Amino acid sequence: MRMASVPLGEPPEIVNAGIGVHGLHVPEECFRLPDLWQLHLYSYEGELEVGGTVHTIRPGHVSLIPADAEVRYRYQGVSEHLYVHARLPDRGEAHQVPVMQDAGAAVAVLDGMLRHAITAAASAPARASAEIWTVLWRLTQLRPRHVGEHAAVATALDYIEERLPRPITVPEIAEAAGVSHNHLTRLFRAERGTTVVAHIRRRRLERAAHLLGESTLSIPAVAASVGIPDLQAFNKACRREFGKSPRALRSHRP
C-alpha cells in the first residue's frame, strides 16, 4: 500500500498519543489496529511494510496507516517515534495521502504540533484533535519528491516555500539541506535548470501575481508579503518576469 484515502471532513477522535520506543527486545513486530488509524513521525532508520509494500523509514519521515491495515516493522536497534492512534470519521471528501513520506522542511512544525497533541490528549482532547486535524491537512500538502530528485534539493525547495516572505540566503538554505553552498548551487542547476536565487525570485513573483490578481491588498502590501518590500525592486522584478508593471497585472483582476 502506497497511498491512503483519508476522510478529512471532520476532526479525528484521538484515542491515544505518545512517544513509542521499539526494538528493545525484538527486531521485528507485526500487528493491526482494527478500528484506529496510525500516524507516526520517525527519528530512526528501519522498514515499515503495509499491505505488501515495503517503505524505508528515515528520520523526518511521517507515515499515515489506515485502520485495520496489517503493519510489519523492522528495527535496527532502539527506535523512537511520536505516534497518534485516532478514529477518522467516515464522512466528507477523501484525500489521497502517501502512507510514507519525507516531511522535509516541515518536520520541525509537525514535530511541535504532534508534541502539543500528545501533552493535550488527556486533559484537553478537543485541542489535541484540532492539532492532529491540522497535521493531517498538512500531510495532504507536503510537496512530493520527484523521481531522481536529490534529497538536498527537495529539502531546499521545501525550506524556500516556508520562508518566501522573509530574507533568505543561499548559504542558509544549503545549511538546512545539509550540503555546502557550492554543492547546492551545482545540484540546483543540474536538476532545476536554474539558480537558487532565480527560483526564489520566480516563486515570490508567482505569489505576487496571484495576490495582485485575486486580492484587494495594496501593491506595497503585496510586495512586502512576498519578501520584496522595496517597491522599485518589486516593479522591476514584475516587468522582468511578466513584462508588466504590478499595476498592469492588477488591472486584470475581476
Q: Could you read off the pLDDT of 14-39 as tens digits, one per residue?
A: 999 999 999 988 999 999 999 999 99
Side by side, which strands form the sheet with 13-22?
13-22, 79-87, 37-42, 61-65, 100-102
Model confidence over 89-105: pLDDT tens digits? 887 788 899 999 988 77
- Please tell me the predicted confidence (pLDDT) of residue 252: 60
Greatest alpha-carbon pair distance for the chain in Å reads: 67
Backbone torsion region of residue 60, taken as left when φ is above 0, otherwise alpha when ψ lies between -120 and 50, otherwise beta = left
- Are the CB atoms for 68 and 35 separated by under 8 Å? yes
Question: Is the model's pLDDT at 173 over the cut of 60?
Answer: yes
If DSSP codes are grouped into helix, strand and coil, which group holds residue 191? helix
pLDDT at 158: 82
Beta bridge partners of 17: 84
Confidence of residue 250 (pLDDT cuts 50, 70, 90): confident
Residue 66 has what pLDDT? 96
Per-residue model confidence as pLDDT tens digits over 228-243: 999 999 999 999 999 9
**146 pLDDT more than 60:** no
